[in-house]
């Protein structure tokens, strides 16, 4: 529910980025955010699995 509630905000942010910096910028920002989320969660998952 929280994820779907944020969709309009993410769409607005993507539109603003695309308008200011070009159509590739939302993809680049999204990729960087996904990479950061993965870098944070993978070590936690590995640590949890070892228990």
Note the pTM of the prediction, 2 decimals: 0.73
Residues 17 and 30: beta-carbon distance below 8 Å: no
Distances in Å between the Cα of 39 and the Cα atoms of 29, 32, 33 are: 15, 10, 10
pLDDT digits (tens, 9 = 90+) for 6-51: 889 999 999 999 999 999 999 999 999 999 999 999 999 998 887 7
């Amino acid at each position: 529910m929280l994820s779907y509630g944020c969709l309009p905000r993410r769409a607005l942010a993507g539109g603003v980025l695309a308008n200011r910096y070009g159509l590739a910028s939302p993809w680049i920002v999204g990729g960087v955010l996904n990479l950061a989320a993965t870098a944070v969660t993978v070590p936690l998952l590995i640590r949890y699995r070892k228990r």
